[in-house]
Structure 1
Amino acid sequence: MGRHSKKLMVVEAVKDWVINGRVKPGERIYSEYELSKLFDVSRHTVRLAIGELVDDGWLYREPGVGTFCGEPFASKKGKNRTNGKNIGVMTTYISDYITPSIIRGMESYLTDRGYSLTVVCTENDHAKERLCIRNLLDLKMDGLILEPTKSSQFNPNMDYYLELEERNIPYVMINQFYSQLSPFHLIMDDVKGGYIAAEHLIQLGHERILGIFNSDDLQGVHRMKGFLQAMRTGKLPIVPELVVTFTTEQFNDDFEERLLNTLTNKKNTPTAIVCYNDLVAAAVQKVLQKLNLCIPEDVSLISFDDSSLAESAEIRLTTIAHPKSRMGIDAAKSIIAAVEGNERDLSLEPPIIYEPALIIRSTTDVVKKNRSAVS
């Protein structure tokens, strides 16, 4: 076994200890000497593994004292529990895109009413989600606002969500929800949003429309469903090569290469593209630039969320607006009502569903019938 494989073995073992509660936040872990004996590896290999775990937030060092289990993925807004009135917030991502706007909405409502906010981040990973929920349970939150991880898949952390119910800790879900749990949730009507996006392009005369959707969350699945409904309503052929799905991992790894292959297929060159969100649209714009294709002269582009990327881009994106801070405020109102309403059962209440709104900017235009294929 090579040094890299040995280091990975140590890293994964320590992560497993943390996730399964063998070591808890703040507890000291084994020394480098003890770990090297335990795993039969060199002190240098252990040092490399510990360094990686510290960098990623799984552990932290106290000089002259030792190495301790950390609280990964928690923002600095989170504090070790104060006395009462604590709301935990779990998101898939925290530092960019639309999440800060959602959190600001929550924070404005919660802090005005004397509640503190603890924010944790799963990075859209089930193992990290498990750790995040356990940390929030340990911090004894009064209520939780949760953004699910990979909501179109079966979630291996159902036992933790059921534990929330057993402990009578109210929670709401935002953007997505786990259908197995039937929780109270706040979402945009993504099926309608997907329909509106495709319908806009069809009305502009586009017939060869490429749809790109995330397949591991319900937002992507629902947006694709609406896209396909609009194509059928418009009596346009649904070409398999022009419906592209990707997972979170694929978007990080080989998304641009896959897209290049799709766009250089001369048989089904699209005149317009519906993107899962503004992040995907930004990646698509890079690929179109590589192919010397202009937006919207050669290819029209529409996306979702109306993030800062939509307005700050060189070409301002046509997009479907996300409620953002409105959703944050409504989620905060709902969780406080549940916390202060004693026996109020949120799961019996109807979800809040926001109507999608089309914002037309510079990236969509009528189809050019004589547009040349990608060279």
Structure 2
Amino acid sequence: MTVTIKDIAKKAGVSYATVSRALNNRPEVNEKTRREIQKLAEEMGYKPNALARGLVTKETKTLGLIIPDITNPFFPEVARGVEEAAAQAGYNVFLCNTNWLAAKEETYLEVLEEKRVDGLILASVAKDCDVVKRVIKRGTPLVLVNRVLKDVDAHYVVIDNNKGSFQVVEHLLGLGHRIIGFIGGLAHVEATRERLQGYRLALASAGIPVDEDLIRLGTFKKESGYENTISLMKDCKKKPTAIFAANDVLALGVIQAVQDCGLQVPEDVAVIGFDDIPFAAYAEVSLTTVAQPKYTMGEMAAKILIEEIKEGPSKEKKHVVLQPKLVIRKSSGKKR
């Protein structure tokens, strides 16, 4: 049976208010009474009601974290950075997974606000930003991670996608490739647009016309990478000698599709991904990819959010753009 403040008050022979003040170390209670009540509460197995305390303090010591894909190792690493930074500051984290569904994201935003979380960290998948705007307008502190939302005035922590993609294509061009395919995720997501933009810019800088037939967009799942690569290899008049996948999970699908077409990676088709999730370094995969500081991304997002919770809304939003690093492994091959 749950022990309440009223139970302690009855046993101690004091008022409910006196027990509440004693347990919260309020100065209105003398030291002797405070110690006696705190000792009695411990003996009775009393545990504070976090919700009730939150109603009084206006702070629940909880944060909401909404990510799109718990199965993609990129996001758990971001979540680990959030959770550990939050724990150090005395906060707990509610983790929600949308599975790339905007409707689930909207639901989670509403649910977390109803649970009175102190702030939100969001890796958004939505096309429509109105829900996020309403959350901010209601005064809930919010930090975007891994994606910037157009026309949304919020803190964010992201990677320089454009630069990372430019490095990928530049590397492939340096190896002698001229027909380079691009396999991307959801068209409306900022990461897809920016990584595609970097791809285009690198080709243009090398004086190579962009062949739109070499570009395929879908989801960020392995199956999409596989299906779009099969399409690319079957339908294109000029077969790509290299493929840039917009994340490492897509790259797995690309590699499988290339092999199912009777070709070898990297001898026939070089493959490069983006994110540098753990499996990329496995000897069986040895995937050349763009490393993101995933843990740091989550850690910084949590620290920015907690600072706003404690200090109040800042006049200028913090916009953190982390730098990518190309990690070269076997999948990109040698100079042709």
TM-score exceeds 0.5: yes
Contact 1:172–1:335, Cα closer than 8 Å, also in 2: yes
Distance in 2 separating the partners of 1:163 and 1:80: 26
2:68 matched residue in structure 1: 92
Distance in 2 separating the partners of 1:227 and 1:178: 21
- Matched AA of 2:324: P
2:274 matched residue in structure 1: 304
2:128 matched residue in structure 1: 154
Match of 1:260 among 230, 255, 263: 230
Distance in 2 separating the partners of 1:242 and 1:163: 39
1:295 matched residue in structure 2: 265
Residue 101 of structure 1: SS of its match in structure 2? helix
1:327 and 2:297 aligned? yes
- TM-superposed CA distance for 1:80, in Å, is 8.4
1:108 and 2:84 aligned? yes
* TM-score, normalising length: structure 1: 0.71
- Matched AA of 1:360: I
2:17 matched residue in structure 1: none
1:315 and 2:285 aligned? yes
Distance in 1 separating the partners of 2:113 and 2:283: 40
RMSD between aligned residues: 2.1
Distance in 2 separating the partners of 1:306 and 1:353: 17
- TM-superposed CA distance for 1:252, in Å, is 7.3
Match of 1:235 among 207, 212, 215: 207
Contact 1:279–1:309, Cα closer than 8 Å, also in 2: no
1:138 and 2:109 aligned? no
* TM-score, normalising length: structure 2: 0.78
1:365 matched residue in structure 2: 333
Contact 1:145–1:173, Cα closer than 8 Å, also in 2: yes
- TM-superposed CA distance for 1:225, in Å, is 0.1
Distance in 2 separating the partners of 1:96 and 1:117: 19
Distance in 1 separating the partners of 2:123 and 2:288: 26
1:189 and 2:160 aligned? yes
Residue 301 of structure 1: SS of its match in structure 2? strand
- TM-superposed CA distance for 1:342, in Å, is 2.1
1:118 and 2:98 aligned? no
Contact 2:120–2:140, Cα closer than 8 Å, also in 1: yes
Contact 2:163–2:324, Cα closer than 8 Å, also in 1: yes
List gaps (5 residues or longer) in structure 2: 1-48, 55-59
Distance in 2 separating the partners of 1:111 and 1:254: 36
253-262 or 238-247, which moves further after superposition? Answer: 253-262
- TM-superposed CA distance for 1:323, in Å, is 1.1
Distance in 2 separating the partners of 1:283 and 1:112: 38
Distance in 1 separating the partners of 2:136 and 2:177: 49
Residue 100 of structure 1: SS of its match in structure 2? helix
Contact 1:80–1:139, Cα closer than 8 Å, also in 2: no
Residue 254 of structure 2: SS of its match in structure 1? helix
Distance in 2 separating the partners of 1:366 and 1:255: 23
- TM-superposed CA distance for 1:236, in Å, is 1.3
Distance in 2 separating the partners of 1:126 and 1:89: 15
Pick the structure with greater CA Rg. Answer: 2
- TM-superposed CA distance for 1:161, in Å, is 2.4
Contact 2:247–2:273, Cα closer than 8 Å, also in 1: yes
Distance 1:289 1:142, change over 3 A: same
- Matched AA of 1:192: K
Distance 1:96 1:336, change over 3 A: same
- Matched AA of 2:73: Y
1:217 matched residue in structure 2: 189
Distance 1:131 1:265, change over 3 A: closer
- TM-superposed CA distance for 1:99, in Å, is 1.2
Distance 1:107 1:258, change over 3 A: closer
Contact 1:94–1:100, Cα closer than 8 Å, also in 2: yes
Distance 1:166 1:232, change over 3 A: closer
- Matched AA of 1:291: C
Distance 1:232 1:86, change over 3 A: same
- Matched AA of 1:132: Y
Match of 1:285 among 250, 255, 274: 255
Distance 1:296 1:255, change over 3 A: closer
Contact 2:177–2:241, Cα closer than 8 Å, also in 1: yes
1:269 matched residue in structure 2: 239
Match of 1:167 among 114, 127, 138: 138
Residue 305 of structure 1: SS of its match in structure 2? coil
Contact 1:206–1:366, Cα closer than 8 Å, also in 2: no
